[in-house]
Each structure stands twice: as structure tokens, then as C-alpha cells.
Amino acid sequence: MTKAMFPGSFDPPTLGHINIIERSAKLYDKLYVVVADNIAKKCLFTAQERIKLIKDNFINHDNIEVLSYNGLTVDIAKELGVDVMIRGVRALADFGYEFELAMTNKQLLPGVETLFMPTDPHYFLLRSSAIKEMAAFGADISKMVPANVANELSKRVVNRNNL
């Protein structure tokens, strides 16, 4: 049985994330989506909220599990016994950072491979931080995030100090 994980902040999950999750789940028997619960990073949504925002988009997907962690990615990878770590890449700018991260993780945990999955061209420009900012200024973000995320973003009083 091959197991993979897709780690990230997902604050909030975008259609770009959802697309990577859907495609990865087809490649492996089990996919863990691991939401970073990092107290040092200020997030708009709590880890539990982010888990629910992702889960609600994958109700009928038996091989997808969504959970949070608050340590090193390699530690949770070891704990879950995954073979592969998936990372989505949008552009060259992402690649430099992602490549270094993959090198570091390989040193820390040689048994786990990193797979870079290029974004779907439709979602090339989607970035959680930019979407929160657009939402705070009242822009229409309904084509950038799943409907449940669009709802939550609009319900929440998103002001610039929250970002």
C-alpha cells in the first residue's frame, strides 16, 4: 500500500490546493492532507477550521484523510509511515524554495521521496495570502476558492489587521 502526504498551511485552502489533492489521491492508495498548526505563524483560520474546510470538499473520498500537526513535517511523515511527500509548484519562484525544502527533508528522512506536482494552469495565480487580502478589500474571490471557503471568508470580518 503506497501512502503519500500533502503538507501545507491551507489558510485558507484554494482551488489550487483542492486540485493537487484530487490529483494526488488518484496516484496513491492513501493521501494524508496535513495542516500545519504552527503557533509562530499567524493564521486567519484555526487548524480545526482549516481541516473542516478541506474535509467538506472530499466527503466521498475514502482514501483522503485530513489532520493537523505542530512539529516538523519529517516527524509526522515518519509517524504516518508515508512513502511520498507531495508539493505543488506554481512557478519558478516556488521551485527554488521547494527544492531546498526537499533537499533538507531528504537529509532528515532519506526514505521519503518528494514529488513536485505542477499546478493546473487554471490555478497558476492562486495564493492563499493574496486571496485573503483580496477578500479583505471586498474583491470577488468565488472563482479562486471552493464555495465553503468563499462563504467563510465573507462571513468573517476580514480586515487588514487580521491577515
Q: Give residues in contact with ligand ADP (CB under 6 A).
A: 8-10, 14, 16-17, 20, 87-90, 94, 119, 123, 126-129
Is the CB of 94 or the CB of 113 nearer to ligand ADP?
Answer: 94
Q: Dihedral, CA atoms, 73, 74, 79, 85, nearest 10 degrees?
A: 80
Torsion sign across C-alpha atoms 159, 127, 19, 101: negative
Integer Rg of the chain from CA: 15
Q: Cβ of residue 118: shortest distance to ligand ADP, in angstroms?
A: 8
Strand partners, 142: none
Is the CB of 1 or the CB of 118 nearer to ligand ADP?
Answer: 118
Q: Cβ of residue 131: shortest distance to ligand ADP, in angstroms?
A: 8
Is the CB of 96 or the CB of 110 nearer to ligand ADP?
Answer: 96
Q: Cβ of residue 4: shortest distance to ligand ADP, in angstroms?
A: 13
Dig out the grid coordinates for 133 from the structure.
Answer: 487580502
- Residue 74: phi and psi, rounded to 5, are -65, -30
Is the CB of 9 or the CB of 30 nearer to ligand ADP?
Answer: 9
Distance of alpha carbon 145 from the chain centroid: 12
Distance of alpha carbon 13 from the chain centroid: 6
Q: Cβ of residue 157: shortest distance to ligand ADP, in angstroms?
A: 22
